[in-house]
Amino acid sequence: MSGFVKTSFVVVFSMLLIWTIAGWPRVWLPKKDSSGVWRLQQTRVAKIVSADTGGPNTPSTVAGVASGSCSDNMAWNTTDQTALTSNDTTYISYSAGNWDSGNVTDELRISNFGFSLVGTVTSIDGFQVDFLGWTPSGAPAASYQTVSLFTAPGSNRGDNKAAGTFPTADPGSTYQTFGATNDDWYPAGSWTQAEVESSNFGVALCLTANENNATVNIDQVRITITYTVQANSAPSVSAVDILPSPITLTENGTSTVTITATITDTNGCTDVATNGTTTATLYRSSLGASCSADANNCYTNIPMADAGGTCTGGGDNSFNASGTVQVWYIAQATDASSSFSSDTWQATVKAIDAASASSTATDASPPELNTLLAIDVTGTINYGTVNPDATSTTQTVTITNTGNYNSTDATFSGVNLESGANSIAVGSQRYSTTTNEFWDYLDYVLSGIDTFRELNITKATATTSPSTQSHFWAIKVPLGTAVGTYNGTTTITAQ
Partner 1 sequence: MLKFKPMTILKAYILSALVGAFILFVSLSVIPVLADSVTPSVTVGNAAPSVSAVDISPATITLTENGTTTITITATITDSNGCSEVFTGGTIKAQLYRSGVSGAGSCSADPNNCYRNITMTDVGGTCAGGSDTSGNASGTVQIWYIAEATDASSSFSTETWQVEVIATDSSNASSSATDSTPPELSTLLALDVTASLSYGTVAANATSATVSASTTNTGNYNTLDAQFSGVALESGANSIAAAQQKYSTTTSEAYEQLDYTLSTTPTFRELNIAKATATTTPSKQGSFWAILIPAGQAAGTYNGTTTITAY
Per CB under 8 A, residues contacting partner 1 are 246, 248, 251, 335-337, 370-390, 392, 397, 402-403, 414, 417, 419, 424, 429, 473, 475, 477-495
CB of 315 or CB of 480, closer to partner 1? 480
Strand partners, 463: none
CB of 85 or CB of 334, closer to partner 1? 334
Count CB-CB contacts under 10 A for residue 325: 21
CB of 237 or CB of 373, closer to partner 1? 373
Residue 206, SS3 per DSSP: strand
CB of 119 or CB of 414, closer to partner 1? 414
> Which residue type, as a one-letter code, is found at position 252?
N
Q: How far is the CB of 375 from partner 1 (least distance, A)?
A: 5
CB of 104 or CB of 475, closer to partner 1? 475
Q: How far is the CB of 467 from partner 1 (least distance, A)?
A: 15
Residue 488, SS3 per DSSP: coil
Q: How far is the CB of 493 from partner 1 (least distance, A)?
A: 4
Q: How far is the CB of 1 from partner 1 (least distance, A)?
A: 59
Q: How far is the CB of 257 from partner 1 (least distance, A)?
A: 16
Contact 221, 129 (CB under 8 A): yes
Contact 116, 165 (CB under 8 A): no
CB of 186 or CB of 444, closer to partner 1? 444
Q: How far is the CB of 488 from partner 1 (least distance, A)?
A: 5
Task: Tell me the C-alpha distance between 495 and 491, whole Å.
Answer: 12
Candidates 393, 431, 392; CA nearest to 412 is 431
Task: Tell me the C-alpha distance between 37 and 27, whole Å.
Answer: 19
Q: How far is the CB of 282 from partner 1 (least distance, A)?
A: 20
Q: How far is the CB of 480 from partner 1 (least distance, A)?
A: 3
DSSP letter at 423 equals E
CB of 101 or CB of 396, closer to partner 1? 396
CB of 140 or CB of 246, closer to partner 1? 246
Task: Tell me the C-alpha distance between 329 and 249, whole Å.
Answer: 6
Task: Specify burial of residue 40 (Cβ count, 10 A radius: 0-12, 13-18, 19+).
Answer: exposed
Q: How far is the CB of 302 from partner 1 (least distance, A)?
A: 25
Measured CA to CA in angstroms, residue 235 lies from 37, 168, 272, 308 at distances of 21, 55, 7, 20
CB of 307 or CB of 425, closer to partner 1? 425
Q: How far is the CB of 475 from partner 1 (least distance, A)?
A: 5
Task: Tell me the C-alpha distance between 223 and 110, whole Å.
Answer: 10
Q: How far is the CB of 473 from partner 1 (least distance, A)?
A: 7
Task: Tell me the C-alpha distance between 3 and 402, whole Å.
Answer: 77
CB of 263 or CB of 477, closer to partner 1? 477
144-171: string of b/e by CB count within 10 Å (b at 16+)?
A: bbbbbbbbebeebbbbbbbeebbbeebb
CB of 326 or CB of 385, closer to partner 1? 385
CB within 8 Å of 36: residues ≥ 6 apart: none
Count CB-CB contacts under 10 A for residue 216: 23
Candidates 288, 299, 276, 301; CA nearest to 358 is 276
DSSP string computed for 274-326? TTSEEEEEEEEGGG-TTPPPBTTTEEEEEEEEETTS---STT--EEEEEEEEE
CB of 293 or CB of 390, closer to partner 1? 390
Q: How far is the CB of 396 from partner 1 (least distance, A)?
A: 12
Residues 36/39/41/47 CA torsion (nearest 10 deg): 60
Task: Tell me the C-alpha distance between 213 and 73, whole Å.
Answer: 12
